[in-house]
Amino acid sequence: MKAIATSTKKVITGNHAVSYGAMLSRVQVISAYPITPQTQIVELLSEFCANGTLSARFIKVESEHSAMAALIGASSAGARAFTATSSHGLALMHEMLHWAAGARLPIVMADVNRAMGPPWSVWTDQNDSLSQRDTGWMQLYCESNQEVLDSVICAYKVAEKVLLPVMLVLDAFVLSHTAEPVEIPDQELVDRYLPPFRPLYRLDVNNPHAFGGLAPPETYMELRYQMQQSMEQALSEWERADEEYGELFGRRYGLIEPYHTEDADLVLVTSSTVTSTARVVIDELREQGQRVGLLKIRLFRPFPSEAVRHALRGARKVAVIDRNISFGAGGIFAQEIKSALHNHRGLPIFGLVAGLGGRDITPATIQEIIQYAQAHDEPEDLVWIGVKR
Amino acid sequence: MSHVNFTVPEVELMGSGHLGCQGCGATLGMRYVLKALGPKTIVVLPACCWTIIAGPFPYSSLKVPLLHTAFETAAVAASGVRAALDVQGDTETTVLAWAGDGGTFDIGLQSLSGAAERNENILYVCYDNEAYMNTGIQRSSATPYLAWTTTTPKLSPKGEPKKDMMGIMAAHRIPYAATASIAYPDDLVRKIEKAKSIRGMKFIHLLSPCPPGWKISSELSVKLARLAVQTKVFPLYEIEEGTHYTISVMPDGIPAREYFTQQGRFSHLREEDTERIQKIVDTEWERLLDKCRDHM
Amino acid sequence: MSKQVVFQSAREMPPMAISLNDMGFNKTGGWRYLKPVYLEKLAPCRVSCPAGTDWPRVLTLAAEGQFIDAWRLIRAENPLPGICGRVCYHPCEAACNREHFDGAVSIQALERFIADACFDLRPETHQREPRSERVAVVGSGPAGLACAYFLARQGVGVTVLEAAREPGGMLRLAIPSYRLPRDILDKEIEDIAALGVKFQPGTRISSHVELEELWQSFDALFIATGAHHSRPLKIPGEDNAGVMTGLEFLRSVNADHDIEIGKRVIVIGGGNTAMDAARTALRLGAHPTVVYRRTRAEMPAIAEEIEEAEQEGIEFIFLAAPRQIRRVGNTLEVECIRVELGAPDASGRRRPVPIPNSEFVMETDCVLKAVGEEPELPFLSESMETSAGLVIHNPKGLLEREGIFIGGDAQSGPSTVIDAIASGKQAAKAIQLYLQHGHVRPPKRRDKRSLTEEIAFEHLNPDYFTPAPRADAPHLVPSTRTASFSEVKGAISREQAIAEAQRCFSCGVCNFCDNCRVFCPDVAISRVDSAYAVNAEFCKGCGICAEECPRGVISLVEEER
C-alpha cells in the first residue's frame, strides 16, 4: 500500500515527539518519575491521560526503580507499558532492566541521554544508556524528532514480536528540547500498523501460571540462549518493521544509515544528533573532493554487525566518534565496530571520544576528527577530542 | 461455645509438595489468605522465603497466577498489575502483594510507602518471621529486641526494638490495616475478606513463626503464634483510615516470659531482660489501648 | 498425580520462566521422621464408669442437640439412663479432666436430661436375628435388667423372674420416689420389655429344687437376686416392737403400706439405706436422728445423699454405738456408748473403740436398723460356691453346674446401681460366649490398637477451651422437699444441657473439630467420610496437628523406613 498518510504537522520538541509516539501506540499503563531532561515527556502524557486523549493508567511512582517495577507488573498482566527516564534514573532502574528483559516483557522506554554524576551534569552523553548495554534491552539511537516519534511506534511492533524491551535514546537538549516540524501520523493508520498487545502468556486467573520462579542450572542457560536467539531474530524484525512503516507512512530509517560510504577512504561512524552535524561536514569535504563518508549507527542492540561490515567493505580507514567512554578501555561504539570487523579484515579503526557531558560537537570538531584520522596510519584505541589536557 | 472451632473456606489454592520447611508459619499464612481471597487472585511475590516455597521453574505450588519480582518491588509491581487489570476492565480480581519482613520493613519500604500514599487498590500482606530467614537468619528491622540472629550473636543481641510498621502504615491513612496471626485463622480470614471488600490500599501484618529461625521445634509454630497474641507481644487489632483502632482478640495477659522461654533465639535472656521486655510489652499495650479509646 | 516437566532442548521451553505444572511431583513425605497417627485415648469419665458409657461421644451428640442419638449411644452401654441420671454416684464427674480447668462437666444432669428428653420415645426394637437359646434371669434389679437387656439385644429369648409383685428389685423396693420417681423406673423397664423380654413377677425361687427345675427348662440362668438380708445389730433388745430394719421400712413405704413410726425415730447406720430411711421418715412427719459409730468422713452413703439429708435438717450423732434397746411403755430407750477411732480394721477403716463410762440413753418411738445388707441364696446347694467369677463352681474348681451365672449384689454384696448394671452386662457377655462356644473365655482381640491409654489433663491443649460455668441440677429448697415425696433434684433446661455438653473436652476422642486439617501447612490432611486421612506422600511430619489437637487424639510415632 502506498504512503498517503492523512497526517498533521506540528512543531514539537524531541521530548514531545516521544509523548506523541506513546500516545499513538495506545500505551495502556505508564509509570514514571521526574528527571531532567526527560520530564516533559511524562508531563505531556499526563495531559493526554487527563484530557482523555489517551485512556491509560499513569502510576506516578516514588522512584525510577519503582517505575520499571510497576511496568513489569503491568506488562506481565497484559498491558502495553511505557516509561521515560534519564541518567541517574536509568541507573537506579538497572536491576529492573534485567528483570524486564529476563521476563521477556515488551516494554518501551525513552532514555534522554544525560551524563552521569558526579559531578552533577544535566547535559548529554551516552554513558547512561550504554551502561545498560548488557541488560537484554534493545537500544535505538535517534537523530531527529520525527525519527523519535516514528521509532516509538516501530519499537512496540518489534518488542511485542520478539518479546524483548526497547530503549529509545535521544540526546539531552540537542534533541529533547529542540523543536522541529514533525508529522503526526493518523491514529487509524497507526492502529493498522500496530494492533493491540496480545501476549503469549500473561497473569490470568483463568489460566494461572507462575512467572519468573527460580531456574536451576539445568534450565537457566537455555532461557538465556533463547534471549540471544530473539535478539538475533530482532534484526530482521526491525528491518521488516521499518519497511512496513515506510510503506504506510513514507519514512524509513534502516538499522544503520550509510552516507557516501561507497567510495570513501575514510568513514566516520556516528550515532544520535552528532550524525546531523557530521553529515554537513561530509558534504563540505566532498565538495572539496575529499573521499570521506559517514555511517550512522541507529540500532545498537542487537548490533547490526553484518550490515556494518557491508557498509564498511570499501573503507580504508574508520573513525568512530563516541560521546561516551568505558573507563579503562575507550569509546564504546568503537569497541563495537572493532568487534564487528575484527575477524574480517585488518581495517584501521580510530576510536575518538568527544562531547562528553554535553560539550558541543561542532562541525569544527568533526573536521578535527577527520583530519586526525587522515593524518594517522596506525590507529589508536582512544583519542580524546577537544579535551584540555 | 466452649470450643474454639475454626471455620475457614474449603477452597485450597495452595498445593502440597511446596518447599516450605516443616512447620513453616508462612505457608499456613498463604494457605489461609488464598482461602479467603479465592481463585480470582494474582499474587505478586518479591524475594523472600516464598520465592523458594512456591517451587522452581517450571512449577508452582499455587493455583493462582504468581508474579515473582525483585526484593524491593512487591507493592509497586502489584500496583502495575492492578493498573493493567483496571485498564483491561477487570476490577474484580484481587492483587495480593505477599512479602516477608525484610521486603516490607527494610528494602521494600519505599515502594510500599509510595503505593500506600497513592492508595493503590491492592492488598499487601507482610508475613513477618522477624529476620532474613531465606538467607539464613540475619537481623531485619522487624527482628525483636534482644533476639539472636546470625548477625546479632548472643554476645551482642539486637539492641533495638522492632520497627513500628503498623504505625507507619497508619500514618499513611490507608483505608485498612490489621495485624493477624496464623494461630487465629478465622480472624485472619475475616480480615482478609474485609480487606477484599475495601477499595484502596490494605495492609495486613501477619506474624508467621519460623521454626529454624526462631530455634523452636516444628510443632510449636502455631502455639507460639498464639502465645505472641496471648502475651500481648503481638496484639491483634485493626486500624481503619489510619485512626480508628479496634482490638480483635483480647489477650489472656499471660506473662511475656511464657512466649520467650520457648524459643532458642531468646535462650540467652536473663531475668532482668525478661522483666525489661515485660515492661515494654505493657507500655506498648497501654499505648494501643489509648489509641483504641481515642476513637470510642 | 503431577509429573515432572522435562525439557530436552531450549526449543521445548517457553520463552520465559513460567510454571507448567504444580508441585505434586515433589513427595515431601520423604522429609518425615515422625508421623501423625489418629489414636483415640480413653477419657477418664469413660474409664471410671463401671458401665463404660462413651461419654465424650454422647456429649458431642448432645452438644449438637441430637438428644435421641445421644440416648441411643448411652443405651449401647447402659439400659437405665433415666435411673442412673438420678441415683448414680457419678464417678465420671470425679474423674472429669475439666475439674482441673473450671469444674467437672455435669454428666449426671446431662444423662438425666437426655433420658427425660426421650421419655416418650420407645427404643428401636430391631435386633439381631432371634435365636433359639432361652435364658432365665432370676431377679429384676439393675443387674438382672441389664443382663436381660443385653441378651435380648443379641436375639436371645429372656424370661425375668421377680419375687415381688412388680419388677425393679431394690430400685423399686428401697430407693424412695423423691430420688427416683416411679414413672421413670416403669419407663425404662418397659423399654426392656419392648425388646421381647418376658417378666414373671410374683415368682420366687426359694429352693435348690426350684433352681434345678429352672435350669432344666432354660439354656442358661443368671442369678441376680440382690442383697436383701439386713445384718443384725447383735445387741439386746433389737427384736422389740418398734424396732425394724431400714429396708423393711422403705419397702413398706414404697409399696404404699400404712406404717406407724411415731414422731421420734432413730436410724442406726451410715450407708445409703440409713440415709433413705431417715429422709423417708422425715417426709412421713417424724424427726429422725442418725446414729453412726464413725465420723461423717467414713459414712459409706454417697456424698450427695448425706448433704441433702443435712440440708433437710436431719440430726446426726457421730462416734456413738448402740449397746442395747429397751422398751419402756410406749417408748423405746436406746443405750449408746461413745467411741473413738482406733487402728484400721480389715476394711481399712479405723475401728471404733468404746470410751469407758460414756454411756448415754436416747428415747424414741422407733428404731430403724441400717447397718448393712447381705445376699440370701437359699436355692444354692451345699456344694455350690460363688466365686469371684460369674460361674458357680464346686470347691474343687470344676464346673459343676454349667450355665449358671451370678451377679449384682447377690454376688458382691451391697453395692451401687451402676456397679450392678456393669455386673449384669458382664454376665450377658459371658452368657453369650457360653451359649455360642460352651465356655466363657473371651476371644482374642484382633485389633491391636485397642483403647488402652487413658488421657490426662496434661495431654490436652486447653488453649482451645474457654471457661464456662458448670450447670448444676437445681434442687427443691429443703423446706418444701420434706412436705412430700416430690423429686428433690430437678432437671436442667435444654439450653443448659447443650451448653453443658459443649463444655465436654471430649478427651482423647476426635469430635471433628478440624484443627488438624486447618493447621496442616502441607495440606496433607483430609476428611474422608467419618475420619481424617493423612496423605503420607506429602506430610512432612511437622507435628502441628498433634500439638494443636485440643483433645490429644493424634500421636506422633516414629516413621518406619
What subunits touch chain A, counting only 3 or more CB pairs under 8 A? B, C
For range B97-123, the mean pLDDT: 98
Q: How many CB pairs under 8 A join A and B?
A: 161
Distance from CA of C5 to the nearest CA of A (A): 11
For range B134-146, the mean pLDDT: 97
Helix pair angle (B25-37, B221-230), 10° resolution: 80
Local confidence band at C127 (pLDDT 50, 70, 90 cut-offs):
low
At C434 the pLDDT is 86
Helix H or strand E segment including C368:
strand C366-369
Local confidence band at C137 (pLDDT 50, 70, 90 cut-offs):
very high
Distance from CA of B46 to the nearest CA of C (A): 15
Beta-strand (E) ranges in C219-314? Answer: 220-223, 229-230, 243-245, 264-268, 287-292
Helix H or strand E segment including C360:
strand C350-364
C400 pLDDT above the threshold of 50: no
At C391 the pLDDT is 44
C266 pLDDT above the threshold of 90: yes
**Using CB atoms and an 8 Å cut-off, which of residues 257-276 of chain A contact chain C?**
none
For range B151-161, the mean pLDDT: 96
Q: Determine the residue of chain C that is closest to B8 in CA distance.
A: C518
For range B261-266, the mean pLDDT: 96
Instruction: Identify which of A102, A201, A229 has the shortest CB distance to residue C14.
Output: A201
Q: Give the number of other CB atoms < 10 A from CB of residue C206.
A: 11
B256 pLDDT above the threshold of 90: yes
Local confidence band at C440 (pLDDT 50, 70, 90 cut-offs):
low
> Of the given ranges (A1-5, B210-214, C90-94, C516-520), which has the lowest mean pLDDT?
A1-5
At C390 the pLDDT is 44
Local confidence band at C442 (pLDDT 50, 70, 90 cut-offs):
low
Q: Which is nearest to A281 in space by CA: A203, A217, A373?
A: A373
Share of chain A above pLDDT 70, in %: 98
Distance from CA of A153 to the nearest CA of B (A): 20
Q: Is C19 on the interface with A (CB under 8 A)?
A: yes
Distance from CA of A134 to the nearest CA of C (A): 18
* Residue range C326-336, pLDDT digits in tens: 999 889 999 99
C392 pLDDT above the threshold of 60: no
Assess contact for C157 and C196: CB atoms under 8 A.
Answer: yes
**Would strands C157-162 and C134-138 be described as parallel, antiparallel, or unpaired?**
parallel
First to last CA, chain A: 56
Q: Is A38 on the interface with C (CB under 8 A)?
A: no
Q: Determine the residue of chain B that is closest to C17 in CA distance.
A: B57
For range C4-27, the mean pLDDT: 95
B2 pLDDT above the threshold of 80: no
**Would strands C229-230 and C220-223 be described as parallel, antiparallel, or unpaired?**
unpaired
Contact B14 C523 (CB under 8 A): yes
Distance from CA of B180 to the nearest CA of C (A): 15
Show residues of chain A in contact with B42, CB under 8 Å: 77, 203, 205
Assess contact for A323 and A356: CB atoms under 8 A.
Answer: yes
At A82 the pLDDT is 98
* Residue range A325-374, pLDDT digits in tens: 999 999 999 999 999 998 777 788 999 999 999 999 999 999 999 999 99
C344 pLDDT above the threshold of 50: yes
At C213 the pLDDT is 87
B63 pLDDT above the threshold of 60: yes
Q: What is the Cα gyration radius of chain C?
A: 29
What subunits touch chain B, counting only 3 or more CB pairs under 8 A? A, C
- Report phi then psi at A60, rounded to 5: -90, 90
C379 pLDDT above the threshold of 90: no
Which cell numbers in the block locate residue B249? 482478640
Beta pairing partners, A383: A352
Which cell numbers in the block locate residue B168? 507507619
Residues of B near C (Cβ–Cβ under 8 Å) read: 1-6, 8, 12, 14-20, 22-25, 27-28, 31, 55, 57-61, 63, 66, 185, 211, 217-223, 226, 230
At C448 the pLDDT is 46
> Of the given ranges (B70-79, C68-77, C384-393), which has the lowest mean pLDDT?
C384-393
Instruction: Identify which of B52, B57, B111 has the shortest CB distance to residue A66.
Output: B111
* Residue range A200-253, pLDDT digits in tens: 999 999 999 999 999 999 999 999 999 999 999 999 999 999 999 999 999 999
Residue scoring higher pLDDT (A242 or C128): A242
Which cell numbers in the block locate residue C410? 447377690
At C81 the pLDDT is 97
Local confidence band at C529 (pLDDT 50, 70, 90 cut-offs):
confident
At C430 the pLDDT is 86
Beta-strand (E) ranges in chain B? Answer: 41-45, 66-68, 94-100, 123-128, 176-181, 202-207, 236-240, 244-249
**Checking phi first, is residue A228 left (phi over 0); if not, alpha (psi -120 to 50) or beta?**
alpha
Assess contact for A58 and A22: CB atoms under 8 A.
Answer: no
Share of chain C above pLDDT 70, in %: 93
Local confidence band at B28 (pLDDT 50, 70, 90 cut-offs):
very high
Show residues of chain A in contact with C5, CB under 8 Å: none
Which cell numbers in the block locate residue C319? 462416734
Assess contact for B222 and B257: CB atoms under 8 A.
Answer: no
* Residue range A245-303, pLDDT digits in tens: 999 999 999 999 999 999 999 999 999 999 999 999 999 999 999 999 999 999 999 99
Show residues of chain B in contact with A107, CB under 8 Å: none
Instruction: Write down how long chain B is.
Output: 296
Distance from CA of B66 to the nearest CA of A (A): 4
At C487 the pLDDT is 92
Contact B17 C538 (CB under 8 A): yes
At C383 the pLDDT is 58
Q: Determine the residue of chain C that is closest to A202 in CA distance.
A: C18
Which value does ipTM take for this structure? Answer: 0.96
Distance from CA of B193 to the nearest CA of C (A): 17
DSSP state of A260: S
Q: Is A200 on the interface with C (CB under 8 A)?
A: yes
C481 pLDDT above the threshold of 90: no
Q: Which long-range contacts (CB under 8 A, 24 or more apart) does C392-395 make?
A: none
Local confidence band at C207 (pLDDT 50, 70, 90 cut-offs):
confident
Q: Which is nearest to A296 in space by CA: A330, A273, A264, A280?
A: A273
DSSP state of C454: B
At C389 the pLDDT is 41
> Of the given ranges (C170-179, C403-412, C424-433), which has the lowest mean pLDDT?
C403-412
At C397 the pLDDT is 33
For range A125-142, the mean pLDDT: 98
On the 0-12 / 13-18 / 19+ scale of CB atoms within 10 A, B253 is exposed
Contacts of B64 (CB under 8 A, 6+ apart): A205, A208, B13, B34, B39, B41, B42, B43
Show residues of chain C in contact with A164, CB under 8 Å: none
- Report phi then psi at C212, rounded to 5: -60, -40
Assess contact for B33 and B62: CB atoms under 8 A.
Answer: no
Distances (CA, A) of A91 to A67, C308, C444: 12, 90, 81
At C195 the pLDDT is 92
Show residues of chain B in contact with C556, CB under 8 Å: 219
For range A161-171, the mean pLDDT: 98
Assess contact for C275 and C175: CB atoms under 8 A.
Answer: no
Which residue in this structure is represented by grid cell 453412726?
C292
Contact A29 B84 (CB under 8 A): yes
Local confidence band at C380 (pLDDT 50, 70, 90 cut-offs):
confident
Q: Determine the residue of chain C that is closest to B211 in CA distance.
A: C542
> CA A29, A34, A39: angle at the middle one, nearest 5?
90
For range A53-58, the mean pLDDT: 97
A152 pLDDT above the threshold of 50: yes
Q: Which is nearest to C341 in space by CA: C293, C303, C387, C408?
A: C293
C16/C3 Cα distance (integer angstroms):
20
Contacts of C515 (CB under 8 A, 6+ apart): B6, C464, C545, C548, C549, C550
For range B249-267, the mean pLDDT: 95
Mean pLDDT of the residues in chain C: 90
* Residue range C493-513, pLDDT digits in tens: 999 999 999 999 999 999 899
